[in-house]
Amino acid sequence: MKIILVNKFHYLKGGSETYYFGLAEGLKALGHEVHFFAMEGSENVPCEDSDLFVSAKDYNGPTSLSQKVTAATSLIYSKEARDKFQALCERVHPDVVHMNLVHRQITLSILDAPYLKQHRVPVLFTSHDYILVCPNYVMLDGSGAVCDACLGGHFSNCLKRKCVKGSTAKSGMGMLEADYLKLHRSYSKIDCIVVPSQFMRNKLLEGGFPTQQVVYMQNFAKQEILDNAVDGTDRTDRDDPYLLFFGRLSSEKGVDILVEAFINALPSLPDNLRLVIAGDGPERQSIEDRIAAAGPEASGRIELVGFQSGADMRRYTERATLAIASSRWRENMPYSIVEAFALGTPVIGTDIGGIPELVDDGRTGLLCEPGDVDSLSQAILRGAALVKDRDAYAAMQANCRSYVLDRCSQDKYMNDLVALYRELIDSKKGN
C-alpha cells in the first residue's frame, strides 16, 4: 500500500509530529510505502519528497498590510499546496492520504487535487486539537476561559472574544477560515476523522460531525516507550525528591497555577520536596518573576531547567516522584502522560478533556480541578502523602506501566489503522 502522510512540520516539534513520524515508522515496518507532504524548513528531516513541499509560512511574525492580505488569502486556501500535492499524487499514485496538522500553512486546498477524486483515494485526518470546531483550536476564549461558543458553526464568536492570541486581526482571520471551510463543506471531503480521546469525539459530534465519520483510536506509544514500561525498574529519587512539569510554558498549560499551588502547599510539604519545571515558552519570564516575588524558600525549591529532550528528559521523568499535567485546556491524549506512565511515574492531572481518560484518580495518579489553585495544592499534598506509603506508591507505579502496555501498543494501533485504510479503500471504490 502507498500512503501519503501530511503534516505542516517535518521535524520533531511536538506531540503531533511524534505521532506523524511514529505512523511512518510503523507503516514502513509493516511493508507499506510511505511518502510525505509538508512545509519547507531548515529543520526538516531529509526526505525524498521535499522538492514538492510548500513554501514556509509564519503567521505570527510582524507583517506589512499587503503581506497580511496575502497571508489571509493563503491561510484559507493555498493554490500552491493544491498544485504541489497534485504533483506528488501523480508521482506516487497513493492508495490512501492521511492528514495531520494542515490548517493555515498547508490548508485543506489539497483535498481539491484532481487526482483524489479521479482515483477515489480515501482521505483520513487525525485530529490533534479542536480546530475542526474552534478557530482557536484549544477551545479557550480571549480571556483564557474554557469556551464552547463556536460549536455548531457560530464562528463569529471567535472575533467577538478575540480568541486567537487576543488579536482582532488574527481572530478575524480564524473566523474567516472556519466560515470558508463550513461554506465550502471542506470537511465532507474527508472520509474519516481519527480522534485520540472519547472526549474529543463527543465534542466533534456535538459540533455537528456525522457519527460514522469520527473514529476513536487512542494514540500509540513507540517501542522505546513500551520498552520502558516493560523494564519496571523503580528509579525514583528518594534522596532528592521532586515533582515534575515538562512541556511548553504557555498559558493553556496552567504552569502559573502550578507554581501558585506549590507555593501555597510549601508549609505542609516535606522540607526536601522540590518542583522542577522543564520547558520553555512565552510564560517563562512571568513564572520566574512570580517565583522571585514569593521569596527565598520558593526560589530555593522551584527550579526551571529549560527545554529538555532525549536521555536528559528521560532521567528527569524516571526520577520524579510525580509528574504534573496542569492544563487549563481540553487536552486530548498528552504524550507526556504516557511517557511518564511508562517510566513508572504517576501523574497529577487536571480533570479536563482527555486527561481523566488516562489519569484514574487513586490508580494511575490524582485528579484536580483545572485552573483551581486550591484543588491543585490539595492534590500535591495528597501526592506527597501517597509517596510515603511505599506499597501504595509501588502499586500505582505498576498500574501506570500496565496502562501503557495494555492500551498503547504500536503494533495493535498500526494493524487497526491498516484495517481501517483497507475498509475505506473498499468502500470508496465500491468493492
pLDDT at 180: 93
- Structure confidence at residue 75 as a pLDDT band (50, 70, 90): confident
Per-residue pLDDT of 156-205, as tens digits, reads: 999 999 999 899 999 999 999 999 999 999 999 999 999 999 999 999 99
> Which CA distances in Å does 256 have to 47, 297, 338?
39, 17, 23
pLDDT at 68: 55
Per-residue pLDDT of 197-230, as tens digits, reads: 999 999 999 999 999 999 999 999 988 999 999 9
CA diameter of the chain: 70
Residue-range domain boundaries for the chain: 2-220+409-428, 223-407
C-alpha cell, 57: 509560512
C-alpha cell, 135: 478557530
C-alpha cell, 121: 483515494
pLDDT at 338: 95
Contact call for residues 2 and 32 (beta carbons, < 8 A): yes
Judged on CB neighbours under 10 Å (0-12, 13-18, 19+), 430 is exposed
| CATH class of the domain comprising 2-220+409-428 | alpha beta
Same fold, 2-220+409-428 and 223-407: yes
| H-state helical runs in 134-195 | 156-160, 168-183
The superfamily in CATH containing domain 223-407 is Glycogen Phosphorylase B; (3.40.50.2000)
> Which CA distances in Å does 348 have to 15, 163, 335, 400?
19, 28, 14, 12
42: DSSP letter: T
Cα of first residue to Cα of last residue in the chain, in angstroms, is: 17
Question: Any idea which residue has 528509579 for its cell?
Answer: 235
- Structure confidence at residue 15 as a pLDDT band (50, 70, 90): confident
Side-chain-side CA neighbours of 360 within 13 Å: the count stands at: 9
182: left (phi over 0), alpha (psi -120 to 50) or beta: alpha
Contact call for residues 235 and 311 (beta carbons, < 8 A): no
To 10 degrees, what angle do helices 390-407 and 373-388 make?
A: 110
- Structure confidence at residue 431 as a pLDDT band (50, 70, 90): low
